[in-house]
Amino acid sequence: MRAAAALALSLPLTGCYVMQAAGGQLDVMARSRPIPRVLDDPTTPDATRSRLELAQQARAFAVLELALPDSGSYTSYADLGRPYAVWNVVATPEFSLVPLRWCFPVAGCVSYRGYFDEAAANAKAWQLAARGNDAIVEGVATYSTLGHLPDPLFSTMLGWSDTRLVGTIFHELAHERLYVSGDSGFNEAFASVVEHAGVRRWLAAQGRQKDLEAYERSRRRQAEFVQLLGRSRAALSHLYESTLPAPEMRIEKNREFGRLKFEYQGLRAQWAGFSGYDAWFARPLDNARLASVATYHDCVPGLERELAAAGSLPVFYARAESLAKLTREARRAAVCESSPSG
């Protein structure tokens, strides 16, 4: 997961959650330095310097070639001194794939709850689990404040491949281009479609044909991974709609997750041993983990069709803005796969 906009946009609320959000965001701002100043600093490591230069190139490409906002985002750099920018909590009921949602001003209702402190995120997940929910904590390397604040490039992003770093900048700037309050699935899919189109154009412009071919292979593997999870979600949805007693339903639920792990091994073999999703399967599987992936992918195929029909990014943006004016239900019916995701 990437976007954690609810953190910075919930400040009018009260309580410990908002205090940690406000404190965390203030700490990020205090750590941020203009990228030109970091590049001019003789103590800046060469590896950091090269990644910041790449980020500057990507941001310029996003503005000039992808018609994304020329905001203050990604003009500064923040060395966080930790592995993730934030930790997101995602939760579902034990026998449901519909994620719990939390509502905030501006950001609307979202299917995750973000924390700048890992221990606080774990405590919230444990609290939710104690109430009978499936709950997970996921480390997030970056997030968007939707243009309300100038988002920096985080140190947590520098170890990524070129395509992931560049794609993430496109993704987060796309959130600033269009964001629909209360519809996480549509927002993430819109940003993902812009990201993928942008990375393809960027690689082509760089003359990096082999990298473009590798990127397309990774996209195909991702689609097969999502389809695999989709089959399990369909089976679990059918199970949860049944009248089985809870103890038996729990057994069948665990059996389905076991089947999912087994089928992944077959898919992995088809990929000639590619292990990029092993870490995802190494962690305990539950409804919340499936819901987390669904938030990012259910609306992607429909929006990719919109992009293909539009023929250009500006026309696609206009079509997406028209969809944004619909009710959430009408919008999901128009472009999203049938799914319980939030």
Which pLDDT belongs to residue 102? 87
Q: What is the pLDDT of residue 74?
A: 97
The whole-number average pLDDT for the span 184-188 is 90
Asked if 167 and 195 touch (Cβ cutoff 8 Å), the reply is yes
Per-residue pLDDT reduced to its tens digit, 117-154 = 999 999 999 999 999 999 999 999 999 888 889 999 99
Rg (CA), the chain: 20
Q: What is the pLDDT of residue 111?
A: 86
Q: What is the mean pLDDT of residues 224-250?
A: 96
- Helix or strand run (H / E) with residue 33: strand 32-34
Q: What integer best gives the mean pLDDT of the chain?
A: 92
Closest CA to 1 of 161, 152, 110, 133: 110
Helix axes 328-335, 184-205, angle to 10 degrees: 40
Q: What value does the mean pLDDT take over residues 163-175?
A: 97
Which pLDDT band, with edges at 50, 70 and 90, does 338 fall under?
low
Whole-number Å distance between alpha carbons of 214 and 97 = 33
Residue among 320, 29, 291 at smallest CA distance from 154 = 29
Instruction: With cut-offs at 50, 70 and 90, classify the pLDDT of residue 109.
Output: confident
Pick the closest to residue 106 from 70, 146, 143, 69 (CA basis).
Answer: 146
Q: Residue 163 and residue 67: Cα distance in Å, rounded? A: 19
Per-position DSSP letters for 85-131, written without gaps between them: SEEEEEEEETT--S---EEETTTEEES-EEESSHHHHHHHHHHHHHT
What is the DSSP code string of 267-312? HHHHTTT--TTHHHHHSPP-HHHHHHHHHHHTTHHHHHHHHHHH-S
Report residue 10's pLDDT band, with 50, 70 and 90 as the boundaries.
Answer: very low
Confidence label for 273 from pLDDT (cuts 50, 70 and 90): confident
- Give percent of the chain with pLDDT exceeding 70: 93
Q: What is the tens place of the pLDDT at every residue in 16-52?
A: 777 788 889 999 999 999 999 999 999 999 999 999 9
For the segment 205-212, the average pLDDT, to the nearest whole number, is 97
The span from the CA of 175 to the CA of 69, in Å, is: 10
9 has a pLDDT exceeding 60: no
pLDDT at 8 over 50: no
Burial string for 207-239 (b: 16+ CB within 10 Å, else e) reads: eeeebbeebeeeeebbeebbebbbebbebbeeb
12 three-class SS? coil
Task: State mean pLDDT over 257-261.
Answer: 98
Residue 107 — pLDDT band, cuts 50, 70, 90?
low
Predicted local distance difference test score (pLDDT) of residue 181: 87
47-55, Cβ contacts within 8 angstroms, sequence gap of 24 or more:
47/158, 48/155, 48/158, 51/157, 51/158, 51/165, 52/77, 52/153, 54/162, 54/165, 54/166, 55/153, 55/165, 55/166, 55/169
320 neighbors 174 (Cβ within 8 angstroms)? no
State how beta strands 153-154 and 133-140 pair: unpaired
Taking the C-alpha atoms of residue 234 and residue 147, their distance in angstroms, rounded to an integer, is: 36
Q: What is the pLDDT of residues 304-316, one digit of tens each?
A: 999 999 999 999 9
Average pLDDT score over residue span 146-163? 95
